[in-house]
Amino acid sequence: YHTINGTQVDDFAQNWTAEENGTYDFQVQLYDDDYNLEDEFWIRGVTLNGSSGGGGGGGDEDEWFYSHDHETEDTNGDGEVDTIEISYDPDTTCDCDVDITVYILVYDNETGDLVDWDTFEYTINDGSWDSFSETWTAYDDGTYDFQVDLYDEEDNYEDNFTITGVELSAGDEGGFNQEGGGGGDEDEWFDSWYYETEDTNEDDEDDTIEIGYEPDTTCDCDVDITVYIWVYEAETGDLVDWQTFAYTINGGKLDSFSENWTAYDDGTYDFVVDLYDDDDNYEDGFNITSVELLAGDEGGFNQEGGGEDDDEWFDEWNYDTEDATIDISYDPDTSCDCYIDIEVYVDIFDSETDDHVASLDDDHIIYNEEEDWFVQEWTAGYDGTYDFNVYLYDQEYGHEEDNFWIYDVELAEQNAAPVIDALYVD
pLDDT for 24 equals 78
pLDDT tens digit sequence for 273-299: 999 888 777 888 899 999 999 998 888
Q: What is the pLDDT of residue 290?
A: 94
Q: Does the pLDDT at position 250 exceed 60?
A: yes
Residue 177 has pLDDT above 80, yes or no: yes
Question: How many Cβ atoms are within 10 Å of 309's Cβ, its own excluded?
Answer: 22
Closest of 305, 254, 76, 93 to residue 169, by C-alpha: 76
Any idea which of 18-32, 146-160, 164-178, 365-379 has the lowest mean pLDDT? 18-32
- pLDDT above 90 for 317: yes
The lowest-confidence range among 40-44, 94-98, 193-197, 235-239 is 40-44
State the sign of the Cα–Cα–Cα–Cα dihedral 371, 395, 226, 191: positive
Cut 0.85: pTM above it? no
| Residue 393 confidence (pLDDT) | 78
CATH 2.60.40.10 domain range(s) in the chain:
60-176, 188-301, 312-425
* The pLDDT of residue 77: 84
Residue 12's pLDDT is what?
Answer: 74
Class of domain 188-301: mainly beta
Q: For residue 45, is pLDDT > 80?
A: no
What's the pLDDT score for residue 202? 87
Mean pLDDT of 322-334: 93
Least confident of 43-52, 248-257, 321-330: 43-52
Beta bridge partners of 381: none
- Adjacency order of strands within the sheet including 339-350: 356-367, 339-350, 384-394, 399-411
Examine the pLDDT at 152 and tell me if it is beyond 70.
yes
CA 309 – CA 396 distance, rounded (Å)? 8
pLDDT value of residue 143: 95
| Banded pLDDT at 82 (limits 50, 70, 90) | very high
23 CB contacts (<8 Å, ≥6 apart)?
A: 45, 46, 47, 48
Range 312-425: architecture per CATH: Sandwich (2.60)
Predicted confidence (pLDDT) at residue 416 exceeds the cutoff of 60: no
pLDDT at residue 171 greater than cutoff 50: yes
Residue 331 has pLDDT above 70, yes or no: yes
Q: What is the pLDDT of residue 59?
A: 45
Would you state the pLDDT for residue 414? 66
The answer on pLDDT for 208 being more than 80 is: yes
Which positions ≥6 away from 224 have C-beta within 8 Å? 246, 247, 248, 277, 278
> pLDDT band for position 257 (50/70/90)?
confident
pLDDT at 9 (0 to 100): 60
| Range of lowest pLDDT (224-228, 302-306, 398-402) | 302-306
The 10s digit of each residue's pLDDT in 8-31 is 566 677 777 777 777 777 778 777
| pLDDT greater than 50 at residue 194 | yes
Per-residue pLDDT for 399 more than 70?
Answer: no
Closest CA to 191 of 212, 214, 169: 214
| Listed range (121-125, 252-256, 286-290, 377-381) with the worst mean pLDDT | 252-256
pLDDT tier at 94, thresholds 50, 70, 90 = confident
Whether residue 306 is predicted with pLDDT greater than 50 in this model: the reply is no
Cβ atoms within 10 Å, residue 231: 23
- Of these ranges, 35-39, 407-411, 413-417, the one predicted with the greatest mean pLDDT is 407-411
In the chain, what is the straight-line distance between the N-terminal and C-terminal CA atoms, in Å? 49
pLDDT band for 195, please (50, 70, 90 cuts): very high
* Euclidean distance between CA atoms 393 and 312, whole angstroms: 9
Q: Is the pLDDT of residue 98 over 60?
A: yes
Report residue 112 CA to chain centroid gap. 39
Give the CATH fold of the 60-176 domain: Immunoglobulin-like (2.60.40)
The pLDDT of residue 302 is 82
Pick the more confident residue, 2 or 159.
159
Exposed/middle/buried for residue 416 (C-beta within 10 Å: 0-12, 13-18, 19+): exposed
